[in-house]
Structure 1
């Protein structure tokens, strides 16, 4: 379906959606720049998107598909797409798969989640159908046992795997434990979550000939966000030309960031989605520009993820980077922060996954030292009796807690009692 200009999109939204009419009541009728529009208040957005009384949508549900999102945090949210919107989105995504490395005739195992209105499996399957190159599709699903997937890889010489990073790493671990030769796998495409560096070693062991790439950035609520950019940095993406407008804004001021290397909140405007308009919508990720002119940006983490122990902020990306640097032999294959409170003080457990033998005790001590070096206030507050000592807990990778519906790793578990 044809894109709309920003002016057309705003006019349509404020005319047909009570939510946007209220949000734009003080916005000029003529829009000269996107910053004249407020960034969407997500709480108000989803309050308006209730059922059956809905004040967000621009029209009735007469020809649409409805997906549900819950992710790793928050209550599920329902997101409708018209037939044309969905077709446009999967066509763009299918083209992005080719940029990511999909080749004519590739045999592709789709390991994304399905059921319960989840979009992952369906969206990828439609994207493969819409791809400009021929391909052979195996709609496997994330609920299929890892051993069965390993057998499928061997029997059909699967060349491409598509999945959420934790499912891909589970299959890789299974392949390694079986001593299986999975040299047929040429391409590993991930979606649904960031591909953290601590998962890369197990993928390389299982699929030594494979290139790892993002399949693109999208979500059920925001829709299309960005396409993969070929290269060694799998976190670099670019906005979909003529389909999305991507901004990075300052965390505090909300002002647009226009220089490279400065992280902020990722904001997207979808130029073809009109049933549920997405205009200056916070994606939930933090990013930084790599090349402003070419609209290339790098994802640097989730906006909301990290733990706070007492007054000490523990961002997941910073802590993970410190651990990886102190683990050159790649024992760690996943990290999860667990916040607990006992004896009147907060404490933090770093739950780390491993795939073969339990790591040695000296590594645990080295990792704690690395975290203390990255956050020197932490041991000081421990010494003052303000918080508990940092704890590292090793578990088999499969015991890291994931979202039961999507399989995504839950980066932070807050197990503290209510105040």
Structure 2
């Protein structure tokens, strides 16, 4: 038995047409995407002659606004260090402790002496009170003896009484006068002793205050907010007065110290804006403000030091080499984006179309722009592929 197949030519043709149409649409989409991506990669830039600042470039280094090296003011063994190099510290934060046992012993001896003086002063005041009482009694006896003596003397001069009574009254008067002198002398001695004790007490109190200050010196604290950049000692070492212990820098307030020739120093003013380029930090131009201008220059090099304050940036480190750009004059120049310039060995070029280019001679680069000394004219259009 023979099998037969039903075929429909019109149906097959429709299927083929649909398949070809689908392939054609896919091809157009691919072509469109490819053309769009190529077009998106091409960036144009029109060359213009623009006003440009001419800068004088001064070199220098970055330094913290404040650098403080803490030194010991007392002698003693270092017992503690709370921070290491590179760690941040706060103002008044304790960094180092020094053994204060000897100071405490001296303080105890001084306080014991002060307590003894207080006891002696109490006893002295009692003696002074007794001496004052004795003086009052001696004064009363002297008054009585004096009046008696004057009365007896008058009677004796008138030949009314015997010489023995006169001599007796005179002796009593002299005795009372002597006792009065002794009472006064005793009081003066006590007052003198009190003055000596007061002076000794004052000296002891001054020494105690000195010991308290020395005890405070056994705790070394940071005077500023900053970062420890150096430790000159370790725990267990003997600290002595004037011995450097640790260095703290105010790393959040960085200065660029530039050396500027005398020819332009008078053009620089306080609060002028200065561009600062740190070579190790690429694609970044920092802008600082002139904060200090040295009033006198170096007689050998005829240069002046100018300090520029920079805003805080964690990438800026003390000691980094930097260049400062000080405005000198304004001229017409051609500058193009640096990434439009293509380098081939020692040759520089820019593309004017996908297949055409011009050789150029670049000048100084400032940020993302590079000066073009020759090779381009105003109105030229360059591209970046």
Q: Whose radius of gyration is greater, 1 or 2?
A: 2
TM-score normalised by the chain length of structure 1: 0.17
Question: Larger relative contact order (C-alpha < 8 A, sep ≥ 6)?
Answer: 2
Structure with greater proportional helix content: 2
Structure with greater proportional strand content: 2
TM-score normalised by the chain length of structure 2: 0.18
